[in-house]
Amino acid sequence: MSIRVRRVYASPEPQDGVRVLVDRLWPRGLSKDAARVDEWPKGLTPSTELRRWYHADERSYEEFAERYEAELAAPEAAELVEHVRELARKGDVTLLTASKSPEQSHAAVLARLLEA
């Protein structure tokens, strides 16, 4: 099982496997053909409230991660987490985000949760 986190703007690579966009909004300026996204489960994204809270005043990434994990425990999101985990059991999965710092984003939180 291999789960990677990459910027959606980076060119697709053969080792990406299933490419899963984990942002609520489509990345600005990127065509669907160029993105080569296989799945886009919007229910895996942080709520609008949590996203706004995190970006408001340099909030704690650790607290954001805890709040996001709590959101992912909700039934609908938990089903989607399990779906992506099942994809990862079958092969490589790349979580795609437009975030400028993927290592400090919701995608990194999700990747850690999926690998647990």
Structure confidence at residue 21 (pLDDT): 98
111 and 96 in contact (C-beta within 8 Å)?
A: no
State residue 92 phi and psi, 5-degree precision. -75, 145
CA-to-CA distance for 71 and 80, rounded, in angstroms? 12
Q: What is the pLDDT of residues 73-82, one digit of tens each?
A: 999 999 999 9
Extents of the domains making up the chain: 2-115
- pTM of the prediction? 0.93
pLDDT tens, residue by residue, 51-84? 889 888 767 889 999 999 999 999 999 999 999 9
